[in-house]
Amino acid sequence: TMVVLKLRFLLVLFLTSIMGAAQYMMQDAALMNYIDRRFLALEKRLERCNQDILDYVEEFRDFSKMVLSRLAGLNNYKAEVKNEVENLLTRIERAQRDIDYFGSVTDSNTCIEVHEDLVKQQLFEEAEEQKKLKLMLNASCDHMLVGIKSLKIVKKTGDKHGSWMKDPGKKHTKIYLLNGSVNDVIFEFSNIMTFMESNHTLKARRVTLPFPWEGTGHIIYQGFLFYHKYGSLNEIIKFNIQKRNITDQMLLPGAGRIPAYQLSPSTKIDLAIDEQGLWAIHAEPETGGKIVITKINHVTMAVEHTWDTSCNSKDAEAAFMACNTLYVVYNSPSGGTSRIQCVYDVLGAVNTYEIPVLHFPKRQGSHSTIHYNPKEKQLFAWGDGSQIIYKLHTKQKV
């Protein structure tokens, strides 16, 4: 009996210890399960947090791009507004002078005296303006064109319309070819002999523009190409040929609505270089199709002065500037002998009626471009796909 009691006691102790251990194991398992669930929840929250951060970073990048594009647009708009305001101020000054003059004309003696004072004031202002223009345009440039001596057809290549030139602002002998009235590739040749070779484009350096040009009125000066941007009304781009980037641009108020020359309809703005630098030639409907010339500062791309000329764009095919003077070239619509029969000197030293009609020699056809090179005193022309040089005969202005 004692043995049985002892066995029962030991069995109870054993069972009690086993049940206690099992209870502890169940508690440990529950705790581990709880901890595991908490870690999973934390991991999900961290993943969500990381995704939110990535989304915020992407949104911030998009926002930054939008802000930068808006700022670039504001800079362009600022330049446009500045040019428009400067041109508006110039026109207001001219209009105000005209209003003062016409408003003073009346029959009363008192008003006659005022009118005389206004005329004196206007004459004085015009004289001062002429002095400023002479200083700006370096009045020492005193030669005028009296004849076209000879022509040399250098090569025949490319489309009917195009432009070719040297850079009169540089010492090198490079030749530039810009083929077509809409294109975005410049061909640069080391010299005129390379250009004249039959496989000339293989030896040329190709420069691709960020935007194509419109018309054939572009010009190269001091390493920069100045051209009318295709698709724009009157935006002129200044492009660095060596660095291959745009350095500046401007809007030419009033230009771009009608062709500069009736017989060259693709050219709305014709840019020119003479001894004084950069000019723009265009026509406006308000002037009845008469040609307007604008002096542009080639460094700042700001308008310095504008002149309404008496030269008509009807039956005109091209024009060029030489020594402050505009020479307009006319032809027949079917093509014939080109001739200069309208001249406008911005300083008034030359009058159209003082010079005879100047005919281009030995050639029937038309020109899409005629550019004056002030360094070589020659004309670089493009006529029906031919690249031509005209030598000039000049004399001193009276």
Helices 109-137 and 2-103: crossing angle in degrees, nearest 10, is 120
| Confidence label for 373 from pLDDT (cuts 50, 70 and 90) | very high
CA angle 376, 313, 150 (to 5 degrees): 30
Which one, of 76, 111, 365, lies nearest residue 232 by Cα? Answer: 76
| Alpha-carbon span 199 to 218, nearest angstrom | 25
50-98 per-position pLDDT tens digit: 888 888 888 888 888 888 888 777 777 777 777 777 777 766 766 665 5
The residue among 216 and 356 whose pLDDT is bigger is 216
pLDDT at 323 over 80: yes
Confidence of residue 110 (pLDDT cuts 50, 70, 90): very low
SS3 labels along the chain: CHHHHHHHHHHHHHHHHHHHHHHHHHHHHHHHHHHHHHHHHHHHHHHHHHHHHHHHHHHHHHHHHHHHHHHHHHHHHHHHHHHHHHHHHHHHHHHHHHHHHHHCCCCCHHHHHHHHHHHHHHHHHHHHHHHHHHHHHCCCCCEEEEEEEEEEEEEECCCCCEEEECCCCCCCCCEEEEECCEEEEEEEECCHHHHHCCCHHHHCEEEEEEEEEECCCCEEECCEEEEEECCCCCEEEEEECCCCEEEEEEECCCCCCCCCCCCCCCCCCEEEEECCEEEEEEECHHHCCEEEEEEEECCCCEEEEEEEEEEECCCEEEEEEECCEEEEEECCCCCECCEEEEEEECCCCCEHHHCCCEECCCCCECCCEEEEECCCCEEEEEECCEEEEEEEEEEECC
How far is C-alpha 67 from the geometric centre of its chain's CA atoms?
24
- Average pLDDT of the chain? 85
Looking at 27-36, 255-264, 321-330, which range is the least confident one? 27-36
pLDDT digits (tens, 9 = 90+) for 225-238: 999 999 999 999 99
| pLDDT value of position 267 | 97
Q: Which of 6-10, 159-163, 210-214, 286-290 ranks highest by mean pLDDT?
A: 210-214
pLDDT at residue 107, as a whole number? 42
pTM of the model: 0.68
Instruction: Read off the pLDDT of each residue in 133-162 and give the average, rounded to a whole number.
Output: 81
Tell me which of 65 and 113 has the higher pLDDT.
Answer: 65
Lowest mean pLDDT among 30-34, 126-130, 159-163, 308-312: 126-130
The pLDDT value recorded for residue 114 is: 47
Is the model's pLDDT at 35 over the cut of 90?
no
